Amino acid sequence: MEVKEQIEQLRKDLERHNYNYYVLNAPEISDQEFDRMMRELQDLEAAHPEYDDPDSPTRRVGSDLNQEFVQVPHRYPMLSLANTYNKQEVADFYERVRTGLEGEPFEICCEMKYDGLSISLTYEGGRLVRAVTRGDGVQGDDVTENVKTIRCIPLRLRPGAGYPQDFEIRGEILMPWTSFEALNREREEREEPLFANPRNAASGTLKSKNSSVVASRKLDAYLYYLLGDEIPGDGHYENLQAARTWGFKISEAMRKVKTLEEIYDFIDYWDVERKKLPVATDGIVLKVNSQRQQRALGYTAKSPRWAIAYKFQAERARTRLEAVTFQVGRTGAVTPVANMEPVLLAGTVVRRATLHNADVMAQLDLHIGDMVYVEKGGEIIPKIVGVDKEARGPQTGAKVDFITHCPECGAELVRYEGEAAWYCPNDTACPPQIKGRIEHFISRRAMNIDSLGPETVDEYYRRGLIRNVADLYDIRVEQINGDDGAREKSARKIVRSIAASTEVPFERVVFALGIRFVGEIAAKALARHFKSMDALEAATLDELLQINGIGMVIAESVIRYFRDDSNRELVDRLREKGVRMELSPEELSAHSDKLAGQSIVVSGVFSLHSRDEYKAMIEQNGGKNVGSISSKTSFVLAGANMGPAKLEKAGKLGIPILSEEEFLKRIEI
């Protein structure tokens, strides 16, 4: 089989397996076999860029290139639905529809109200060409590249399925409970603010400027409305069943009914059963099924008259506040935690709830012994949402104030400008911070030191073997193999893993240092810009602020970190142990400053390299990728079929347009 045929066959097979797994929930092959086929296709595409296809299944993994979102007008406005919270209001809606249709028989389509981010998908010739968020209802953000990473959204529709040439389908982007819980566990370990619910997590993910991050978070989607001049028929329910055959993920929970009693039955059933679903729901959507009747009923200024959303009541419990404790994390952030009498809430026993920060505590006006109301944010994270102040009596204790000094080391807490949290500044001598920084240093995304975990770090700390991350490199087998040598095998494995960490790339070393507010993306930007630890250590505030993605908070934190003598000594010790303190020659050879300070738009279809490859070249040569043309654009890298609107705007602003050959000559490739 020729290479081109092999690539096309792999793409076809992977698309089929993708549909079976993510839409039908009926996989035919193992995850390992799917991954093997994906790797094979990636290798073939890398070796043969002449067969590039922007809709290849390999594009599902996303890119780590920065994206700038462009505002795109909606062809049809994306209006919000009117909300109702009780059955009487549902009955009122039903009566308004009956009156508005002057007694004509009608059907109601009952659907789940999924709690995510609204999205509009446009297909032309069976291919996904645009994905746009709701925005303000008139226009939204173009998030096409991010949406392409969501496995259940087809990039190309199933051949011969009978879909229209041009149509729009709308739905909800969701983060499944399993992905949400895993993401919050990771954020908790890094001491980043937790997402309150899957909706916020899905929204924050889809707006990421790094599509590889979107891919890693395994978003889901359900589609619920079809629009266009050539859609199959008048029935909304029937249109969605047709869309299912084209390859779209349509909810199995939809039901078409005629009477108010049937609507109530649907509501009552799903108020209980929704808790078994893999994604978050917060209500029921009721729509008049006939699109002809929808048009007859029309719209108010904000919402359609032919649809309404019934919102489920959040589950709430009342219990007694027994105490408030304060936890100190790796970055020194101090988090108040409410300790309560155990109470059953949404199927689990709740004893503790986060109070987030001092501002939240002050708003609640908590007293020891208060009867408090607890809800689960997104039905996962317990939070106190109110206080029953009428229940206060002589037995109620003192008001709970936020502490002023660290409960672990006694240092006076500080609050940085723009931050909600209070911090212990004693990051070199506060035990939770020391151990937390070591745990961060050894983590998989940082130095990736196997066989060490929080319990082992705590043991080594108590024994005095480690007081900072550099001490790890002094650990000897005989110190950790047990009194009788019974743990020698694991001890040797730990020591080998510590030694192997000296080969970790420089950008991960920057992340591993645990500089406050410097996450993985910021660490990568700092490493690529300064290229060595010495240059980063000597960086000025102005130099730091010139880097895309580095704002004042991160820049000042970097300055503070290297201003501390103990931190500079730590870096010197790590350097002595062989930890990488600069980009490797291979990494350096791939970077230049030929495009430094230039903002570049990439547009059109290319033949010599893929769009992503050109964007990577721009970043490697110091340039910045932007999504839209403005007066600040340095030039446009244009392939075939560049959009006429962009071409016209570039001409009006006098922005240079470079061909592939001209661009490659400019960077001398």
List pLDDT tens digits, range 135-147.
878 888 889 989 9
| Among the listed residues 521, 484, 632, the one whose alpha carbon sits nearest the alpha carbon of residue 209 | 521
- Read off the pLDDT of residues 83-101 as tens digits, 9 standing for 90 and up: 888 899 999 999 999 999 9
Q: Would you state the pLDDT for residue 63?
A: 46
Contacts of 244 (CB under 8 A, 6+ apart): 250
Cα–Cα nearest to 504, from 442, 551, 548, 461 = 442
Cβ-based neighbour number of residue 462 at 10 Å? 11
- Range 599-666 classified under CATH 3.40.50.10190: yes
In the numeric block, which tokens belong to residue 327?
Answer: 């936890």
Rounded to an integer, what distance in angstroms lies between the CA atom of residue 254 and that of residue 252? Answer: 6
Least confident range of 25-39, 141-155, 361-375, 620-634: 25-39
Q: Which helix (H) or strand (E) holds 220?
A: strand 220-227
Of residues 61 and 422, which shows the higher confidence score?
422
How is domain 506-589 classified at the CATH fold level?
A: DNA polymerase; domain 1 (1.10.150)
Compute the distance between CA of residue 345 and CA of residue 378 in angstroms, rounded to an integer. 12
User: CATH code for 79-311?
Assistant: 3.30.470.30
**Is residue 67 over pLDDT 60?**
no
Confidence tier at 43 by pLDDT (50, 70, 90): confident
Q: Which residues are catalytic?
A: 113
Half-sphere exposure of 403 (CA within 13 A, CB side): 21
At residue 64 the predicted structure's pLDDT band, cuts being 50, 70 and 90, is very low
Phi/psi at 333 (5° precision): -65, 135
Helix ranges (DSSP H) in 481-539: 488-500, 506-512, 520-530, 533-537
The answer to whether the CB of 198 falls within 8 A of the CB of 378 is: yes
What pLDDT shows up at residue 637? 93
CATH superfamily of 316-391: Nucleic acid-binding proteins (2.40.50.140)
**Residue 519 — very low, low, confident or very high, per pLDDT cuts 50/70/90?**
confident
Tokens 């810009």, residue? 529
Identity of the highest mean pLDDT range in 117-121, 424-428, 525-529: 117-121
For residue 39, give both structure tokens. Answer: 């790797």
If one compares 190 and 330, the residue with the highest pLDDT of the two is 330
Give the angle subtended at the CA of 524 by the CAs of 218 and 474, to the nearest 5°: 105
Q: Is there a common fold for 3-61 and 431-503?
A: no
- pLDDT of 35: 64
Which tokens in the block code for residue 351? 């004893």
pLDDT of residue 508: 94
Fold assignment, 3-61:
Helix Hairpins (1.10.287)
Beta bridge partners of 350: 343
What does the alpha-carbon distance between residue 529 and residue 543 come to, in Å, rounded to a whole number?
10
Other CB atoms within a 10 A radius of the CB of residue 82 amount to 15
In this structure, which amino acid lies at residue 381? I
The CATH classification of domain 431-503, taken from the options 1.10.1370.30, 1.10.10.10, 1.10.150.20, 3.40.50.620: 1.10.150.20
Domain ranges of the chain: 3-61, 79-311, 316-391, 431-503, 506-589, 599-666
